[in-house]
Amino acid sequence: MRALRLSQSLYLTLLAFLIVLLCFLLYHCPTSLQKGVKKVVLFMPTPTYYSKTQDLDNVLRSATMPDKTVILTMVDESLAGPGSVLDILLQSFKSGEGTQRLLNHLVIITMDPQAFEYCRSIHPYCIHPSIFPHHFATKKQSIVPTPVHSLFTWTRNDVLYEVVRLGYSIVFTDADVLWLRSPLINLNPIKELTISCNNLNDGQRGDYLYDGGIFFLKANAISFEFFKHWKLIKVLFPKDPIQESLCTTIQQWPDAVEAYSFRVQLVNTTYFGGFCELNKDMLREAYTIQANCCDDLKSKVHDLRIVLDDWIRFKNRASGDNALDGMALRWPVKCPRRNYNQS
């Protein structure tokens, strides 16, 4: 029996040696020789995208404004395709007042290969998901925000952390936001964060805050250290979805905000508007409008198109024609209508 075990051990050792030797020869043999040899596949590696991977810093450097600020958004395959939310976002940039030039500074983070392929067919600055493989490995079915789960997920937090680490300030926009006018005038370049916060009551959790569809994050040591603290909070409270929201984190952790001297500028939702808080003067006053408080993606796309159509009509109205100024909002139609202020 001992001789048999010794024989088996020698056999396994020899087999392992031959496998290693074969791998070594296949790896190091000349390319011309490899063409004539049928390769043996010993395992299937995890798919990579080295041929398409773009260096994050290079893309950001190409798209940055003179003050090292970039505009970021994130999409997955559910948001990127013909007639998609991404298409409407880009169209709003082209149709807005003072927003066309900002397309040159928009970087789109794609969360899967399908979204990347579509993105690069319509826009010059698209980040391949292989740039953030660990963060996107467990992405959700869709990253469209709902009242219960903010779009500002920990995946996004990690992306923001990396971009700030590279020294770029960020104007982040959710993909379901229409840019009617340039919002840059509302962003405070001195403070670390400029954001609008929405109040919502879902009947179960009561009143709570969640992030508006657009915010500005200044790249400096204060922001970087604050985000490191935020990541620590996630480690300590891994199952608390509340901490995904910047607005709620600021509200619930005022000591940390003060300790890091993390300065915050709140913007009125009149200027960064959305379906959650409607008012009759949105087209006249809002810089951006988000299709928030709307869970269904088809309904979101449908109503965003109506808003964009009304905006184009409003913007192109004849001089002195006030017919559209007082018109009732046609939207949302399929998304829920909440908190409509007609005064």
- Gap between the Cα atoms of 291 and 30, Å rounded: 57
Partners of 201 in the β-ladder: 207
High-pLDDT (> 90) share of the chain, %: 53
Please check the confidence at residue 136 and state whether its pLDDT lies above 70: no
Tokens encoding 38: 């049928």
Taking the alpha carbons of 80, 143, 155, 230 in that order, is the dihedral positive or negative? positive
Mean pLDDT calculated for residue range 165-173: 97
Tokens encoding 126: 């698209």
> How many domains in the chain?
1
Q: What is residue 342's predicted lDDT score, i.e. its pLDDT?
A: 63
Q: Where are the alpha helices (DSSP H) in the chain?
A: 2-28, 31-35, 56-63, 85-95, 113-122, 133-136, 154-165, 221-236, 246-252, 254-259, 282-285, 297-315
Mean pLDDT calculated for residue range 178-182: 98
Q: What is residue 289's predicted lDDT score, i.e. its pLDDT?
A: 97
Tell me the pTM.
0.79
Strand, helix or coil at 230?
Answer: helix
Domain that holds residue 88: 56-266
Exposure class string for 166-197: b at 16+ Cβ within 10 A, else e: eebbbbbbbbbbbbbbbbbebbeeeebbbbbb
Taking the alpha carbons of 184, 123, 219, 256 in that order, is the dihedral positive or negative? positive
Q: How many residues can be counted in the chain?
A: 343
DSSP 318: P
Mean pLDDT calculated for residue range 254-281: 93
DSSP 249: H
Does residue 214 lie in a domain region?
yes
Could you tell me the pLDDT band of residue 43, with boundaries at 50, 70 and 90?
very low
Does residue 206 lie in a domain region?
yes
- Looking at residue 200, which CATH number applies to its domain? 3.90.550
Name every residue whose Cβ is closer than 8 Å to that of residue 28 and which is 6 or more positions away in sequence: none
